[in-house]
Amino acid sequence: MIKQKATELGFSFCGISKADFLEEEARRLDSWLKEGYHGKMKYMENHYDKRLDPRLLVEDAKSVVSLLLNYSTDQEQADPEAPKISKYAYGKDYHFVIKDKLKVFYQFIQDEIGEVGGRVFVDSAPVMDKAWAKKSGLGWVGKNTNLIHPKQGSYFFIAEMILDLNLEYDGPIKDYCGTCTKCIDECPTDAIVQPYVVDGSKCISYLTIELKDELLPHEFSGKLDNWMFGCDICQDVCPWNRFSTTHKESLFHPHDALLKMSKADWEDLTEEVFQELFRKSAVKRTKYSGIKRNIDFLR
């Protein structure tokens, strides 16, 4: 019933795993933080225990329902010279879109099953979403550390519901990356320091979104491959994404003017145009000053 409702709400895939301590991820997270791969994302050091145990987020949690929502698109920016935006940020901010779906979903469970305790999440709390999606069989975590679904690739948002409800659990699937190293070879900043380990502080998405410094580090000059917000390289080159299909979520369609903007338009971007283009977009996270900083760095 839960999986059927997920499909009705437009989610691409749904998997369920037992709410338990993430032992393997605990070791990996510990090592990743000690190496300083989180850069200036100090929040990654917070709520360490909650990240690894959903029962600390929802009392008496029994199940984690993982959900994938496709954002793949064949639409592209018209000017090949224009600074680039990651596909996931073309349309309305996914946090709003998915949160609305999750609220309806949770209410449905209350109405159908009764008083179920739980919480819903989409990047909104210390939840290791890829780990839970992997445990519930929605894919494997690839060498670029993205979740890869064997039938539709990796262009997905991940969300979850943590519930105090016993459900039938799915199991993980195999890793099918094989000997492929395309994501590692193609990353212009060498952020994938070894298979399955990303140094976040070198990642173009981190540099253009998470890093709030007034200036970007000089060492990355000429290495951002013209990305001004996010980066899709390690997904674009992944062979599994030849199976990706175009999303069906109208709210993810870009603002009419966004894809038509030329290189010159971006370089002359005013705050007024920024606010109009990205009114309800994830791009607002960088603010106008952040986007200007990134565009200037690309010149």
Q: In this structure, what are the phi and psi dihedrals at residue 146, rounded to the nearest 5 degrees?
A: -95, 150
Q: Are β-strands 84-85 and 227-229 bridged in parallel, bridged antiparallel, or unpaired?
A: parallel
Q: Under 8 Å CB-to-CB from 199, ≥6 apart: which residues?
A: 35, 37, 191, 192, 193
Alpha-carbon gap, residue 12 to 31, rounded angstroms: 33
Q: How many of the other CB atoms lie within 10 Å of CB of 239?
A: 14
| Contact assessment for residue 164 and residue 62, using Cβ atoms and an 8 Å cutoff | yes
Q: Exposed, middle or buried by CB within 10 Å (0-12, 13-18, 19+), for 116? A: middle
Query: How many alpha carbons fall within 13 Å on the CB side of residue 162?
Result: 23
Please name the residue that has the structure tokens 């709390």: 125
Catalytic residue among 20, 79, 123, 170: 123
| Residue 170 Cα distances to 16, 61, 77, 167, angstroms | 5, 17, 39, 10
Q: In this structure, what are the phi and psi dihedrals at residue 94, rounded to the nearest 5 degrees?
A: -60, -25
| Contact assessment for residue 161 and residue 202, using Cβ atoms and an 8 Å cutoff | no
Is residue 123 annotated as part of the catalytic site, yes or no? yes
Alpha-carbon gap, residue 90 to 277, rounded angstroms: 10
State the amino acid at position 169 in one-letter form. Answer: Y
Three-state DSSP state, 229: strand
Which residues are known to be catalytic? 123
